[in-house]
Amino acid sequence: MSTATIGTAVPRVEGIDKLTGRARYAADFHPEGMAYGYGVYSTISRGRVVSIDTEQAQQMPGVIEIFHHDNFPELHRSPASFPEENMVDELRTPFEDDVVHYAGQFVAFVVAETFEQARNAAYRVRVDYDAESAAATLADGRARGTTEANRNERGDADAGFSSAEVTVDATYTTPVETHNPMELHATTAYWRDGRLVVHESTQGVIFARNTLAKNFDLDPSQIEIHADFIGSGFGGKLWLWPHCLATCAASRELGRPVQFMLPRQYMFTTSGHRPETSQHLRLGATRQGVLTSIMHESINSTSSINTFVEACGGSTASLYACDNLRVTHATAVVDRGTPTPMRAPGAGVGLFALESAMDELAIALDMDPLALRRKNFTEVDPDGGKPFSSNHMLECYDRAAERFGWADRDPAIGSMRDGDEILGWGLAACNWDAMRNPCDARVTLRPDGSATVHCATQDIGTGTYTIIAQTAADTLGIDIDRVHVAIGDSTFPHGQISGGSWATASILPAVIGACKAASDRLIEYAVKDGAPMAGANGDDLIYEAGVVKNGQGDQASAKAILKPLSLPSAVGDFHSDGATEPGYSYGSFGVHFVEIGWAPDIARLRARRVVSAVDAGAIINDRTARNQVEGAIVMGLGSALFEATEYDERTARPVNNNYAEYLVPVNADMPDLDVILLDHPDYKLNELGARGIGEIGLTGIQAAVANAVHHATGKRIRDLPIMLDKLMETS
């Protein structure tokens, strides 16, 4: 009998592969005869390509072909349907016409024998443009006009606001943030007997397959997407981008494998970003701090290619009890590439606004900001009126506050010190939807006592390999090192994207079901003629810890059952329909407490301590789950203090498009991180009670920092990131 692994801190099962370099990523595959693609990218942000001169480039050594809108094969557009699992955020296919929508858009695609030759030739392609003036910022886009995307209203928000005894009315703005996974976007593609085989760095092998099936008018069964390992994605690798289509098309035209890597600087243009937002918050409350109105009106930048809505007010509708609410989302077109989900899309920047406004309200009420949040806690989701399946927000508040020492806070601004540093203490709630979707899995039991799990999902670095192995090992009662996890292949049973924080909740029920189906199959085999329990009634047998047992003390291993029948394995398939218990609203909850240090003499701002408590249901693996929240906090500190993609206002081109100038936190920026995982199972969501934990840690952290900065400095920074210049302004 093996020891149960669920809930423990099992190390990553693929860790050794990654450490030793055995783990292969999309660009590590080099099929025989492979050529290399390199892009030529628009230098204007709006207009047309007038002419492309490839003459000199064609003469360069090793050049095979140069594709552009005059000679590129016609592709079909994906309908971009989430229910049909073929989403794209850039609706346009590459090179479909001569129109330029953004700087960094592909205008040509060079294929050569080596990467260096392709790049060298790309530099010699001459493109003439007819440029129009471009909208570089959300403000420029708003000057052209805005379009409302959706609204969510209950009660009478205007009346609730005008009759409130205390109000806050403020606008918060957040910049473009760019996904910067360590691994660049990459595609290695080839065609074999009419089949398209693609190694892609993707968060969704099934979505990638379905999208390419539309683009190339193939049956999905004619396409294989492989993504054994992914160097993270953060949402930027959920849907396919033009480079993948271009690479697959070039490979088909040339009859050779083609590989493409998107250089870091173009990951700032043609593979999505979190859009710029402007969020107008109005809160009304009674003198006692009971919310009487919440209005959250958000506008985000989108592209001329597609409308992307950053749902900033999604959490706002559910987080606090309040009868009167208005949440609206609108977009304005700027001349940039199309935005895409970035870790905790919506709430990731929406809670910066809401939770900053809550802090401003607490100050206006002369009330402790934690007490204000407790006062407006709700066990029923006010957006729809269903009770939450499981909501331990109050315990998060209690435990994190105690660990942090919140009771010792002196609310007076600038009143707390440690040596030369003024300390600021701030807090903010965090929140994310808990979702579950359909998923299939297959489990194969072999005579050697091992089990293989097949599922067309993937591990983007979050621990999916490990938690699948744990779940199969515990369900089958075998050691985890007897379980092989086969994912990252679209030909496996239909799996889920690594997104929305729903992979864990969706995949593991399918794994459990497939384990049971496989052990049931083993029992069926055990009673067949020639098998060890021939003639017995299968209903009298049980499977336990790798063996089939009867009530008389006899048992038979997989080997003993399969060998006499000459069978290779016992296979079980399972389809989980993804259904949750009806009548409930599902979410995860938590809180961040942040201590910042502000040294005014040397203008140094740093995060010193973060204590977070997260209620995300049952924790399957304490190590990988904790790593997700810690990583999200680091990313949130980046969003709070450093990250912003800056655009040249004259050209709408991103200027800090590299790791040197796009600032992200490094080790020296790290505070002490203390993450409390509550571990209360939510059995209404699934039989493990596990929700999901990839995104919630990012939400709210910027507000907790901004609130701490206000406590230390008296400056209310409503525009991210909180750069030093904003603290040094004297107004």
Q: Give me the least distance between CB of 653 and ligand MOS, in Å please.
A: 25
Nearer to ligand MOS by Cβ, of 110 and 238: the residue is 238
Nearest to 8 by CA among 465, 620, 628: 620
Q: Give me the least distance between CB of 335 and ligand MOS, in Å please.
A: 24
Instruction: Confirm if 240 and 211 have CB atoms less than 8 A apart.
Output: yes
3-state secondary structure 9-56: CCCCCCHHHHHHCCCCCHHHCCCCCCEEEEEEECCCCCEEEEEEECHH
729 is catalytic: no
Nearer to ligand MOS by Cβ, of 178 and 569: the residue is 178
Nearer to ligand MOS by Cβ, of 236 and 572: the residue is 236
Q: Give me the least distance between CB of 499 and ligand MOS, in Å please.
A: 3
Nearer to ligand MOS by Cβ, of 54 and 202: the residue is 202
Nearer to ligand MOS by Cβ, of 343 and 454: the residue is 343
Instruction: Confirm if 664 and 601 have CB atoms less than 8 A apart.
Output: no
- Phi/psi for 597 (5° steps) reads -115, 130
The β-bridge partners of 609 are: 595, 672
Point out which residues bind ligand MOS (CB under 6 A): 203, 233-235, 238, 341-343, 345, 499-500
Q: Give me the least distance between CB of 716 and ligand MOS, in Å please.
A: 29
**Strand 35-41 vs strand 258-261: parallel, antiparallel, or unpaired?**
parallel
Residue written as token pair 């740093």 = 606
Residue written as token pair 């809930």 = 7
Nearer to ligand MOS by Cβ, of 502 and 574: the residue is 502
Among the listed residues 153, 355, 695, 729, the single catalytic one is 695
Distances (CA, A) of 507 to 201, 345, 458, 618: 20, 22, 11, 15
Instruction: Confirm if 617 and 625 have CB atoms less than 8 A apart.
Output: no
Q: Give me the least distance between CB of 345 and ligand MOS, in Å please.
A: 5
Residue at shortest CB range from ligand MOS: 235
Q: Give me the least distance between CB of 501 and ligand MOS, in Å please.
A: 7
Q: Give me the least distance between CB of 460 and ligand MOS, in Å please.
A: 8
Nearer to ligand MOS by Cβ, of 438 and 449: the residue is 438
User: What is the 8-class DSSP label of residue 446?
Assistant: -
Please name the helix (run of DSSP H) or strand (run of DSSP E) that holds residue 99, with its range, or none.
Answer: strand 99-100
Nearer to ligand MOS by Cβ, of 341 and 424: the residue is 341
**Paired tokens of 678:** 């509550």
Instruction: Confirm if 517 and 573 have CB atoms less than 8 A apart.
Output: yes
Instruction: Confirm if 336 and 647 have CB atoms less than 8 A apart.
Output: yes
Instruction: Confirm if 708 and 426 have CB atoms less than 8 A apart.
Output: yes
Instruction: Confirm if 605 and 706 have CB atoms less than 8 A apart.
Output: no
Separation CA 115–CA 300 (nearest Å): 37
Q: CA angle, 231 as apex, 227 and 234 as ends, to 5°?
A: 100
Separation CA 410–CA 415 (nearest Å): 7
Nearer to ligand MOS by Cβ, of 455 and 503: the residue is 503
User: How far is C-alpha 97 from the geometric centre of its chain's CA atoms?
Assistant: 32
Q: Give me the least distance between CB of 581 and ligand MOS, in Å please.
A: 24
**Strand 106-112 vs strand 166-174: parallel, antiparallel, or unpaired?**
unpaired
The β-bridge partners of 177 are: 274
Q: Give me the least distance between CB of 699 and ligand MOS, in Å please.
A: 12
Separation CA 706–CA 77 (nearest Å): 43
Cite the active site residues.
695
